[in-house]
Structure 1
Amino acid sequence: MEVSEGSCRLGLWYVNVTWDGNIVHRIRFQRTGIPGPVPEVITRYLTGKVTCLDPLVSHLPDQPGTYGRIYKAVQAIPYGSVQTYGEIALKADTSPRAVGLAMSRNTTPLLVPCHRVVASKGLGGFTPDLWIKEELLRIEASVSKKMVQQNLSFREQE
């Protein structure tokens, strides 16, 4: 398949996506967009219409070693939930500092939802702007609250 690129909006930011079929190679948050569409499921996710990005996949969890274990542990964090760098470190048999470094090198945020990884006292960081992490967590909390009120599972929403 041919590699595609495009952008959608998240507040004042553009979510620039590079993908090939169902494989997402890169997601970047930038102040300027790039021409072209993004996979529809990403737009629906960012507007709270779906809770899962299937069928899109990231290659990061398939990496061998520490980073692969970290990315798998982060992917396992349920929608609308958070875990600390320390909790992820325990699951991946590494240190919280290594988890932070892996998150800073995460080329497919949203698919490896690093916004769900928080510090033990506060949100922690997020590149390029903490507002993005706050907004993604706000979207997930709002959708989760609606799902609980409607007594629906996350899959039923889709």
Structure 2
Amino acid sequence: MEGSAKFGLWSVYIRWNSDNVVSRIRFVKQVVPGPVPLSLSQYLAGKKTSLSPLTSIHELDETTFGRIYREVLAIPYGETRTYGEIAKIVGTGPRVVGMAMKRNMTPILIPCHRVVAVNGLGGYSPDISIKKDLLAFEARIREKNSRKKPEQVI
């Protein structure tokens, strides 16, 4: 199954199967007709901070990249970690973490936008403005949720 949902000036294209395993997410300029999982629509609307029950194909990867992806998946919504912090936990170098982020086939789901350089944002494909927008979006939703009563938080 595949389709896209809007996020600012971009469309978020997603391909997934009936087991909710996502094989591809990418940012595109054109709308791709078709359905999208409810959790993605809710996330992009700021109504949900998780994409559960969706899972990434990367979560089953047993390589160094797989360990990196699982560590990035553990970064809480609205927070960031540096390439170096992830590298230290996984036992590799920051450049390896950067390469894994560049090869991430399921951004947002494996939230590579939450991985930043020690002195700035780092990179993001296809456009660094998407990373800025995602981080600002999550910060706004997190701030909004922090003002709610605990039973109201999404």
Same fold (TM over 0.5): yes
Q: Please name the residue that 1:68 is paired with.
A: 66
Q: Please name the residue that 1:52 is paired with.
A: 50
- 1:148 positional shift: 1.5
1:24-103 to structure 2, matched below 5 A, reads 24-103=22-101
Q: Please name the residue that 1:152 is paired with.
A: 150
1:49 and 1:157 mapped to 2: Cα distance? Answer: 9
- 1:133 positional shift: 0.7
- 1:151 positional shift: 4.3
Q: Please name the residue that 2:127 is paired with.
A: 129
- 1:111 positional shift: 1.0
1:126 and 1:83 mapped to 2: Cα distance? Answer: 15
- 1:150 positional shift: 1.8
Q: How many residues align?
A: 153
Q: Please name the residue that 1:141 is paired with.
A: 139
TM-score normalised by the chain length of structure 2: 0.95
1:81 and 1:72 mapped to 2: Cα distance? Answer: 16
1:149 and 1:88 mapped to 2: Cα distance? Answer: 30
Detail structure 1 runs of 4+ shifted over 3 Å in the superposition. none
Runs of 5+ consecutive residues of structure 2 not aligned to the other structure: none
TM-score normalised by the chain length of structure 1: 0.93
Task: Quote the RMSD (CA, aligned, Å).
Answer: 1.2
Aligned-pair identity in percent equals 50
2:10 to 10, 13, 32: 13
1:125 and 1:102 mapped to 2: Cα distance? Answer: 12
Q: Deviations over 1:50-77 (max 9, x none)?
A: 0011100012021112101100110000
Q: Secondary structure at the match of 1:134?
A: helix
| Equivalent pair of 1:75/1:111 in contact (CA under 8 Å) | yes
| Equivalent pair of 1:46/1:136 in contact (CA under 8 Å) | no
Q: Please name the residue that 1:120 is paired with.
A: 118
1:35 and 1:144 mapped to 2: Cα distance? Answer: 30
2:69 and 2:37 mapped to 1: Cα distance? Answer: 22
2:103 and 2:4 mapped to 1: Cα distance? Answer: 21
